[in-house]
Copies of this chain bind each other. A is one copy, B any other.
Amino acid sequence: MSNDVYVVGVDMIKFGRFPDRSVPDLGAEAALMALDDAGLAIKDMQALYCGNLYQANAMVGQRILQQIGQTGIPVVNCANACATGATAFREAWMAIKAEVYDLVLAVGVEQMGKGLLGGGGGGSGIPKEGLLGGGTMPTVFAEAGMEHARKYGTTFEQFAKVSVKNHHHSTLNPKAMYQIETPLPEVMNAEMISYPNTKLMCSVNVDGSAAAVLCSERKARELGLMSRAVKVRASVLTSDPWQERDLVMPDVNTCTRLAAKEAYERAGLGPSDIDLVELHDCFATAEILHYENLGLCGDGEAGRFIDEGHAALGGRTPVNVSGGLLSKGHPLGATGIANIYEVTTHLRGEAGKRQVEGARIGMTHVIGLGSACGIHILERAG
């Protein structure tokens, strides 16, 4: 039998602000939900991978295990900026791929600080040297958007439409932080953070957690879990290379293009095979860039892609049907696994009002500045 890996359980808590709860407590809730979803218990798990950024040195995985059943299994704590959750998921995938384990739990969790951007316990820790070029998150993503505008004539209105779309999607997702429509004038007239991104075009700073149970093909068949299982067709992680890199935002654009190329190759698929995408819309400008970076449209076509509704629910390739980071929220370490939850839910046909009809193959994408791009391609198995 192959060493293919399947997601057999996955869930996330409704994102929000939980200043009175602990990080392990938030992680434990999602872990138990994912185990329930799989119909399994912590005693069935053979390893735990935990993704958390702001308390990365504080044994969060072990403290989650203390809450849900201290079984003595190996625990690995991973951190990779905003790609932290995807990295934990990927290392869990690797452990099964290596045939060292059959059943592995991956948990992503973050408790953010207050304010627009958060900052968690003790700051992001990401040093300035060569990473943000002295800028802040809003200014670097604004600059990248403006470079796209300069080259291709992308408009403020087109960037703003991304936010309108994702907020609309989130009205159909009870686990998103917000369920509110934000009409175009409201988005464009919101407080300007860094042109062209207004406050409604910046990701929502929330606490959250998500978890997934990964399983070998042999074990999934043995346990009768294949009917709702989702196969991991590709798991890719990249950093940005010094050569051949985009000069404006190499750790966003180059990193994503290399990861997408490798993911499509490993899966033996192309962009037209992808039925839905959860991508890293940390700012509205970023989503526009990633339409092209992921090959959903040609270079310079992203403005038309949003104008013509291709990225909306019902469109050619629905993007961020969950509401995305812009409205579902962006608890850093949780985001990568929350993406897996969203895509898996669609591939299972269990996404309710926001279901992408007939979805068979989906993609998740995260970017961590610093740099790390994680892409997963998932396929319905049942």
Q: Is A371 an interface residue (CB 8 A)?
A: yes
Chain A 24-48 interface 0/1 with B at a Cβ cutoff of 8 Å (1 = within): 0000000000000000000000010
Known: A70-B242, A94-B98. A78 touches B75 (CB 8 A): no
A80–B70 touching, CB < 8 Å = no
Chain A 122-159 interface 0/1 with B at a Cβ cutoff of 8 Å (1 = within): 10111101110000000000000000000000000000
Residues of chain B with a CB closer than 8 A to A129's CB? 63
B75–A239 touching, CB < 8 Å = yes
Determine the residue in chain B with the shortest Cβ distance to A71.
B241
Q: Is A240 an interface residue (CB 8 A)?
A: yes
Number of interface residues of A (CB under 8 A): 57
Distance from A334 Cβ to chain B, minimum over Cβ atoms (Å): 15
Known: A57-B56, A125-B55. A75 touches B80 (CB 8 A): yes
Distance from A370 Cβ to chain B, minimum over Cβ atoms (Å): 4
Known: A97-B100, A239-B65. A76 touches B78 (CB 8 A): yes
CA A305 to CA B378, docked complex, whole Å: 55
CB-contact partner of A238 in B72, B78, B80, B254, under 8 A: B72
A73–B239 touching, CB < 8 Å = yes
Chain A facing B: main interface SS: loop
Determine the residue in chain B with the shortest Cβ distance to A242.
B70
List 28 A-B residue pairs with CB atoms under 8 Å apart, sorted by A's residue number: A53-B57, A56-B56, A56-B57, A56-B125, A57-B79, A59-B370, A59-B372, A62-B371, A62-B372, A65-B239, A70-B239, A70-B240, A72-B238, A72-B239, A72-B254, A72-B255, A74-B236, A74-B239, A75-B80, A75-B237, A76-B78, A76-B91, A76-B237, A91-B94, A94-B95, A97-B98, A98-B98, A98-B99
The 10 residue pairs across chains A and B that have the minimum distance between CB atoms = A72-B241, A74-B237, A56-B56, A59-B370, A97-B98, A70-B242, A57-B125, A98-B98, A58-B125, A56-B57
Sample of 18 more A-B contacts, CB < 8 Å, known A58-B125, A75-B372, A77-B80: A3-B98, A56-B79, A59-B81, A59-B127, A62-B370, A62-B372, A63-B129, A72-B255, A74-B236, A76-B80, A76-B87, A77-B79, A78-B78, A79-B79, A91-B91, A94-B100, A97-B100, A98-B98
